[in-house]
């Protein structure tokens, strides 16, 4: 690697030399690497092609899941959720115990590896809500249920400054990885005051009748609010809002 000493600083490629800027200044180096055509055809890059194919399936699966929960996660998901979700989805692809290497996929992989996945690492559900709740799913009735016992918000929640109220959110989505489709339903509790005890409550999200053939993902979260002149407004700083996958149910083969 060589430093550019000319008063004219170059960026780009010229004559097989790459010119670019780093934190140490403008540098130049000879272009190296393997052509895309060679990677696609050379037997020596078979493993590379396999890894690329499986990464692509993981990325596609992550995009499908992200789309299924995009609506309910608005104002909660952090800026790195896409890259984090892809990383976990690739792990699911690689957990496929039946397909050949390079052909492993989300459908056959262990999708339950996403259980506990946090939509917002800056405000996780575990560090925000300390109450032990129960998540369950009934494929016969088509109901995903979150049961929350009575609790005192002041003692059992991490409440951001400026919060007057909060609400619970839940969503269930049937995800069809084979056909790249999903169907989602969401539900929210009433606005609950942070300075009053909360009675036991239940959230029910209905999922689609054909779910017996698909994996059902269930997410649960909290959104913090501020009451101003009779209107509940989401806090401008959404870093404390939290949501996670609390139940993932894959149909039995």
pTM higher than 0.85 for the full model?
A: no
Beta carbons of 93 and 54 less than 8 angstroms apart: yes
> How confident is the model over 196-236, as pLDDT tens digits?
999 999 999 988 756 567 899 999 999 999 989 888 888 86
Whole-number pLDDT of residue 238: 65
Q: How many angstroms separate the CA atoms of 235 and 225, rounded?
A: 5
Work out the mean pLDDT of the chain and round it to a whole number.
85
Under DSSP, is residue 65 helix (H, G, I), strand (E, B) or coil? helix
pLDDT tops 70 at residue 111 = yes
Tens-digit pLDDT profile for residues 2-25: 444 544 444 545 445 655 556 556
Distance from C-alpha of 151 to C-alpha of 189, rounded to nearest angstrom: 15
pLDDT-based confidence at residue 237 (cuts at 50, 70, 90): low
pLDDT at 144 over 90: yes
User: 180-202: b or e for each residue (b if 16 or more CB lie within 10 Å)?
Assistant: eebbbbbbebeebebeeebeeee
> Stretch 188-202: mean pLDDT, rounded?
97
Q: Which residues, other chains included, contact 158 with Cβ-Cβ below 8 Å and sequence gap of 6+? A: 127, 128, 129, 240
- Residue-level pLDDT at 213: 76
Q: Which residue has the tokens 């969503």?
A: 171
Tokens read off for 19 = 């010119």
* Burial zone of 232 (CB within 10 Å; 0-12 exposed, 13-18 middle, 19+ buried): middle
| pLDDT at position 165 over 90 | yes
Max Cα separation, the chain? Answer: 73
Give the residue-averaged pLDDT of 107-128: 95
- The arithmetic mean of pLDDT across residues 122-149, rounded, is 94
pLDDT at 139: 87
84-101 mean pLDDT: 95
> Which strand (E) or helix (H) includes residue 176?
strand 165-176
* % of the chain residues with pLDDT over 90: 61
3-state secondary structure (DSSP) of residue 26: strand
b/e per residue 62-72 (b: at least 16 CB within 10 A): bebbbebbeeb
Return the closest-CA partner of residue 53 out of 15, 106, 97.
106
* Whether the Cβ atoms of residue 167 and residue 95 lie closer than 8 Å to each other: no
pLDDT bin (cut points 50, 70, 90) of residue 62 is: very high
């Amino acid at each position: 690697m060589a430093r550019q000493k000319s008063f004219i600083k170059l960026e780009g490629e010229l004559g097989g030399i790459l010119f670019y800027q780093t934190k140490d200044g403008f540098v130049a180096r000879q272009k190296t690497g393997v052509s895309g055509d060679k990677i696609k055809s050379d037997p020596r890059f078979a493993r590379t092609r396999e890894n690329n194919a499986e990464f692509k399936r993981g990325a596609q699966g992550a995009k499908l899941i992200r789309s299924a929960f995009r609506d309910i996660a608005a104002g909660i998901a952090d800026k790195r959720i896409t890259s984090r979700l892809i990383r976990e989805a690739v792990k699911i692809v690689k957990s496929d115990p039946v397909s050949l290497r390079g052909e492993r996929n989300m459908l056959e992989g262990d999708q339950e590896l996403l259980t506990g996945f946090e939509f917002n690492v800056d405000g996780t559900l575990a560090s925000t809500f300390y109450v032990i709740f129960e998540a369950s799913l009934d494929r016969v009735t088509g109901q995903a249920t979150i049961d929350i016992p009575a609790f005192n918000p002041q003692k059992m929640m991490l409440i951001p400054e400026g919060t007057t109220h909060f609400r619970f959110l839940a969503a269930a989505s049937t995800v069809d990885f084979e056909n790249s489709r999903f169907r989602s339903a969401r539900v929210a509790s009433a606005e609950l005051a942070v300075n009053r005890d909360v009675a036991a409550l239940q959230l029910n999200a209905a999922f689609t009748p054909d779910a017996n053939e698909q994996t059902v993902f269930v997410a649960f979260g909290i959104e913090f609010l501020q009451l101003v002149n009779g209107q509940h407004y989401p806090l401008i700083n959404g870093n404390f809002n939290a949501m996670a996958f609390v139940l993932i149910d894959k149909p039995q083969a």
